[in-house]
């Protein structure tokens, strides 16, 4: 895990909230926390738990994973950064549009992984002794 300051996650949350044009009161209500608590998080006085980060992410309509990475709970995955970084860097998209694109991208990746695992399992069951391998010579 990467070391992240408490003020860093708070600043990130504030930035995301401001870009989404949501008041601190609206976000606190959506996340199920008090206004003072959320204010303290944004000012770097408190470090929110993973559960609270998930609720804040839901209120901001961004992925919880993005907040977990910012908070140092999860490591940023090297292979995922190119596409998601490009989406996040696009200044013509709204935060909601960016998050929707990232969610769609992640769902496609998950689908491909599931299909690959299913194909690997089917191949092992359909040809358990490698009969087809010898026929292809």
In this structure, are residues 71 and 4 in contact, taking their beta carbons and an 8 Å threshold?
yes
- DSSP string across 88-112: HH-TTS-HHHHHHHHHHHHHHHHHH
CATH class for the domain made up of 6-75 = mainly alpha
Give the whole-angstrom CA distance, residue 54 versus residue 38: 13
3 contacts 76 by C-beta, under 8 angstroms: no
CA distance 135 to 26: 65
The domain locations on the chain are 6-75, 77-125
pLDDT in tens, 49-89: 888 998 999 899 888 887 887 777 776 655 555 788 788 87
pTM of the predicted model over 0.95: no
pLDDT digits (tens, 9 = 90+) for 24-40: 999 999 999 999 999 99
Percent of the chain with pLDDT over 70: 78
């Amino acid at each position: 895990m990467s070391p992240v300051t408490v003020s860093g996650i708070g600043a990130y949350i504030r930035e995301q909230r401001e870009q989404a044009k949501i008041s601190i009161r609206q976000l606190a209500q959506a996340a199920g926390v008090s206004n003072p608590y959320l204010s303290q998080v944004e000012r770097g006085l408190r470090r929110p738990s993973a559960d609270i980060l998930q609720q804040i992410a839901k209120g901001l309509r961004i992925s919880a994973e993005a907040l977990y990475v910012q908070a140092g709970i999860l490591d940023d995955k090297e292979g995922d950064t190119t596409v998601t970084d490009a989406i996040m860097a696009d200044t013509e998209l709204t935060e909601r549009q960016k998050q929707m694109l990232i969610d769609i991208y992640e769902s496609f990746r998950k689908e491909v992984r599931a299909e690959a695992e299913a194909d690997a399992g089917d191949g092992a069951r359909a040809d358990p002794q490698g009969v087809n391998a010898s026929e292809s010579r």
